């Protein structure tokens, strides 16, 4: 019952965020803060913008990381063992978010979560085996490839779903204009679409779709990934590691392939985008890894109480706070917008 309540609580959070997310395409929700960095010639200040994109991305990374600790902790994996796997995994996969976007979209200042996710999926089995070898049989025995891979894919899927709030705020990963869609698509989204406002939104300066009704791809991804991730999470907590992995891989991967056809931003040349190819390869790769490294008899039965207990540590809390801050700075300091700031004294309040 505790596992059902935990999963349902997360589901309620996702439902509330989905309802609230319709506000984010507004101009108000792009820039969270502007930090002055130097004086301009006219006496004003040049500023660096911290975006809500970075804040929502940091929140998604925080949720995914906390869930990873809970899920693996429920199997008896200590926070230290999780860190041995996750630190090199994040260090190698995070740069892929920028490198893949540069390779596919030819944009040096763009990030793509699909690139980071694919890199993490490919590397995770081998880093898990390396961690087991380094930790020794007595310490890393609970680190099995399929449960670790299942936890990673579930956390990534839920994190990507939540991270679409970032896309809504910045106006990226946007859908096609309804007027350019087939009739049946227009009918489906006639009363449920998005309209972005703000000249600094990516949808505006890249495609000129500011003020037009577009397919709500980001909200659809939040719904699909959220549902797939939550069902898979419940399966994982009940010990069904391989079904949880396969369900999450197939649903999120197929949705990635389908949703690409609804998007209007540039996704690279060719009839199939690189992201669609990575999604299909990722499904096959993950399923093969679960067959090559099946769940062994040493796999523990998940205990949610044991998993939640892993967060009850000052060291873990500080590490999560540091990760949130680093993600905010890395993804939130805008490289495609700038600010001009002017300060003055409010005389009537002196």
Prediction pTM value: 0.90
d(CA 132, CA 145): 10
Whole-Å CA distances, 274 to 103, 188, 266, 268, 325: 10, 28, 11, 7, 30
List the beta bridge partners of residue 340. Answer: 46
Handedness of CA 270, 250, 160, 97 (dihedral sign): negative
Residues with Cβ within 8 Å of residue 183, at least 6 apart in sequence: none
The low-confidence residues of the chain, meaning pLDDT below 70, are: 105-111, 137-141, 266-270, 297-299
Reference 146, options 244, 280, 225; nearest CA is 244
Q: pLDDT value at position 140?
A: 60
Q: pLDDT value at position 15?
A: 95
Q: pLDDT value at position 275?
A: 81
List the beta bridge partners of residue 175. Answer: 263
Task: Report CA 215 to chain centroid distance, whole Å.
Answer: 20
Q: pLDDT value at position 107?
A: 67
Tokens of 222: 């939040």
Whole-Å CA distances, 232 to 47, 151, 153, 197, 281: 43, 9, 9, 36, 20
């Amino acid at each position: 019952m505790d596992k059902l309540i935990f999963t349902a609580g997360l589901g309620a959070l996702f439902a509330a965020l989905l309802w609230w997310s319709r506000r984010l395409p507004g101009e108000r929700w792009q820039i969270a803060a502007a930090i002055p960095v130097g004086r301009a010639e006219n006496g004003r200040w040049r500023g660096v913008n911290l975006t809500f994109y970075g804040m929502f991305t940091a929140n998604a990374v925080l949720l995914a990381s906390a869930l990873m600790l809970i899920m693996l902790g429920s199997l008896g994996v200590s926070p230290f063992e999780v860190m041995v796997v996750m630190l090199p995994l994040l260090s190698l996969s995070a740069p892929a978010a920028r490198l893949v976007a540069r390779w596919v979209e030819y944009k040096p200042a763009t990030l793509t979560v699909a690139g980071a996710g694919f890199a993490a999926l490919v590397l995770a089995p081998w880093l898990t085996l390396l961690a087991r070898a380094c930790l020794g049989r007595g310490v890393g025995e609970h680190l099995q490839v399929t449960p670790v891979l299942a936890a990673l894919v579930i956390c990534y899927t839920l994190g990507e779903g939540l991270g679409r709030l970032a896309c809504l705020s910045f106006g990226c990963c946007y859908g096609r204009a309804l007027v350019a869609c087939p009739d049946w698509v227009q009918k489906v989204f006639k009363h449920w679409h998005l309209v972005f406002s703000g000249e600094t939104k990516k949808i505006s300066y890249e495609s000129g779709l500011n003020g037009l009704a577009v397919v709500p791809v980001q909200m659809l991804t939040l719904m699909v990934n959220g549902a797939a991730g939550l069902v898979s999470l419940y399966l994982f907590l009940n010990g069904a590691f391989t079904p949880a992995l396969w369900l999450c891989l197939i649903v999120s991967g197929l949705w990635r392939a389908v949703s690409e056809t609804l998007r209007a931003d540039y996704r690279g040349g060719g009839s199939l985008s690189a992201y669609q190819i990575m999604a299909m390869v990722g499904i096959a790769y993950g399923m093969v890894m679960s067959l090559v490294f099946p769940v062994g008899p040493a796999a523990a039965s998940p205990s949610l109480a044991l998993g939640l207990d892993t967060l009850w540590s000052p060291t873990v809390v500080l590490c999560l706070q540091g990760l949130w801050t680093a993600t905010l700075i890395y993804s939130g300091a805008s490289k495609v917008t700038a600010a001009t700031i002017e300060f003055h004294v409010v005389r009537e309040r002196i």
